[in-house]
């Protein structure tokens, strides 16, 4: 499935088909329509929040977990994700230690489950953690292509391994789990031919069904952007500077897909059918040489890749527990502020929220943001920040 080039943001929402009808009146904030294919399109012009309506994320964390310089604290290493359970317990996918680590609601270390290995409840490479139905946790091991299921105390219950055939690459990435138990996975194709310069790889999206058996291919999308140098057998490749890529999120029985070159997010059902597009006007930000000099990623400062003309339209996005979409504005080098643009479940653009500096969001509830920060020594710490929402 090709993503058309547009000059504004598209954010897709599964509930819009129920809430929006053809011919809905336009407002100063948005316009709504349905195209000939039955796809609902919502174009947002201005945020709908008034000053008194705006949400805020508290700058000070109400909970911190992981080593912070105190003696004897549990050290997290290469956290792949984290969740806040209904009990308030925090569970982190601690890939560096090949285990799931549990913390109290106050941030005290409780215990860990799992270890390095290929046996039941063991891990080789944890790349994803998420909720699995009611009262269960799932963790995906990319190297073994296995999904392990645990209860909320960390007790291992069962596992399943992704099955593949000749038409599907043997290594896939788990993007999420649908409400009906279907596993949504993506695969990455290598560069075709002998292309040089900036190249967008190709990703295929599959519905594997609740039994980890391929059920349907849901489409082909632009993958990560790389720079290919040289040619023939002597060429190499590296990540592009300020690269474009596609983000996938799963909620209920819908898949949200967004390629950040055009600031677009779409929603598909489990067959790959497009339902809704939501758009917001977007002004591209030019890239300068000074931006390149200020890049935080030192490994790319000597890159051979050319500077792009503009920054990606956004970084990525996440879904909160109430169905709101939090779009991460692209972090411009030299600017400390971090912003999220929030859309409600009906497709209405609410406005922007400032996020504490350095916080990488991992989980968003109705009243909290859970994320990870890294200090100058790359020591990782999980923090929880409260969301303040004015009462209606």
3-state secondary structure the chain: CCCCCCCEEECCCCCHHHHCCCCCCCCCCEEEEECCCCCEEEEECCCCCCHHHCCEECCCCCEEECCCCCCCCCCECCEEEEEECCCCCEEEEEHHHCEEEEECCCCCEEEEECCECCCCCCECCEEEEEECCCCEEEEEECCCCEEEEEECCCCEEEEEECCCCCCCCCCCEEEEECCCCCEEEEEEECCCCCCCEEEEEEEEEEECCCCCCCCEEEEEEEEEEEEEECCHHHCEEEECCCCCCEEEEEECCEEEEEECCCCECEEECCCCCEEEEEEEECCCCECCHHHHHCCCCHHHCCCCCCCCCECCCCCEEEECCCCCEEEECCCCCCCCCEEEEEECCCCCEEEEEEECCCCEEEEECCCEEEEEEECCCCCEEEEEEEEECCCC
What's the pLDDT score for residue 194? 65
326 in Cβ contact with 317 (< 8 Å): yes
Q: Which residue range(s) make up the domain with 243?
A: 8-388
| Count of Cβ atoms closer than 10 Å to residue 211 Cβ | 11
Q: Which of 246, 347, 271 is nearest to 31 (CA)?
A: 347
What's the pLDDT score for residue 3? 40
Residue 48 domain-assigned? yes
Residue 183 domain-assigned? yes
User: How many domains does the structure of the chain reveal?
Assistant: 1
What's the pLDDT score for residue 332? 93
Separation between Cα atoms, residue 372 and residue 334, nearest integer Å = 21
Residue 3 domain-assigned? no
What's the pLDDT score for residue 129? 98
What's the pLDDT score for residue 147? 97
Q: Which segments in the chain show pLDDT lower than 50? A: 1-26, 69-72, 232-233
What's the pLDDT score for residue 9? 39
193 in Cβ contact with 202 (< 8 Å): no
Residue 1 domain-assigned? no
Residue 181 domain-assigned? yes
Dihedral, CA atoms, 352, 358, 363, 366, nearest 10 degrees? -40
The CATH number that applies at residue 228 is: 2.120.10.30
Cβ burial 252-284 (10 Å sphere, 16+ → b, else e): eebbbbbbbbbbbbbbbbbebebbbbbbbebee
| Count of Cβ atoms closer than 10 Å to residue 150 Cβ | 22
Cβ burial 121-134 (10 Å sphere, 16+ → b, else e): bbbeebbbbbbbee
What's the pLDDT score for residue 44? 87
Q: In angstroms, how far is CA 10 from the centroid of its own chain?
A: 16
Residue 134 domain-assigned? yes
Residue 313 domain-assigned? yes
Residue 218 domain-assigned? yes
CB proximity list for 350: less than 8 A, separation 6 or greater:
47, 48, 49, 53, 55, 324, 342, 343, 344
30-to-106, 327, 350 alpha-carbon distances in Å = 42, 18, 11
First to last CA, the chain: 41
What's the pLDDT score for residue 24? 42
């Amino acid at each position: 499935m090709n993503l058309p080039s547009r000059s504004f943001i598209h954010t897709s929402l599964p509930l819009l088909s129920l809430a929006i009808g053809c011919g809905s009146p336009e407002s100063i904030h948005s316009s709504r329509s349905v195209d000939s294919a039955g796809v609902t399109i919502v174009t947002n012009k201005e945020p709908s929040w008034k000053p008194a309506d705006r949400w805020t994320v508290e700058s000070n964390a109400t909970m911190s977990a992981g080593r912070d310089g105190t003696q004897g604290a549990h050290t997290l290493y290469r956290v792949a994700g984290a969740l806040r359970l209904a009990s308030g317990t925090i569970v982190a996918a601690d890939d560096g230690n090949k285990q799931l680590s549990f913390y109290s609601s106050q941030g005290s270390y409780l215990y860990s489950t799992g270890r390095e290995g290929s046996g039941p409840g063991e891990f080789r490479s944890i790349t994803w953690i998420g909720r699995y139905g009611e009262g269960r946790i799932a963790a995906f091991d990319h190297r073994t292509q296995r999904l392990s299921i645990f209860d909320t105390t960390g007790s291992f219950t069962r596992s399943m391994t992704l099955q593949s055939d000749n038409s599907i690459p043997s290594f896939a990435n788990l993007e999420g789990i649908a409400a009906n138990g279907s596993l949504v996975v993506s695969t990455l194709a290598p560069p075709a031919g002998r292309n040089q310069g900036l190249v967008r790889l190709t990703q295929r999206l599959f519905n594997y069904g609740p039994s980890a058996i391929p059920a349907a291919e849901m489409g082909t999308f632009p993958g990560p952007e790389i720079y290919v140098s040289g040619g023939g057998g002597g060429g190499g490749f590296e990540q592009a500077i300020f690269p474009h890529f596609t983000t996938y999120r799963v909620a209920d029985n819908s898949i949200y897909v967004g390629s950040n070159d055009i600031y677009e997010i779409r929603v598909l059902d489990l067959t790959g059918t497009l339902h809704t597009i939501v758009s917001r006007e977007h002004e591209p930000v030019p890239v300068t040489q000074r931006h390149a000099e200020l890049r935080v990623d030192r490994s790319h400062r000597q890159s051979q890749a050319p500077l792009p003309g503009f920054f990606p339209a956004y970084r990525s996005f996440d879904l909160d527990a109430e169905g709101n979409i939090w779009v991460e504005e692209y972090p411009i080098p030299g600017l400390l502020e971090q912003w999220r643009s929030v859309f409600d479940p009906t497709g209405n653009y609410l406005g922007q929220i400032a996020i504490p500096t350095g916080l990488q969001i991992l989980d968003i509830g109705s009243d909290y943001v859970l994320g990870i920060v890294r200090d100058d020594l790359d020591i990782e710490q999980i923090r929880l920040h409260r969301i303040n929402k004015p009462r209606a």
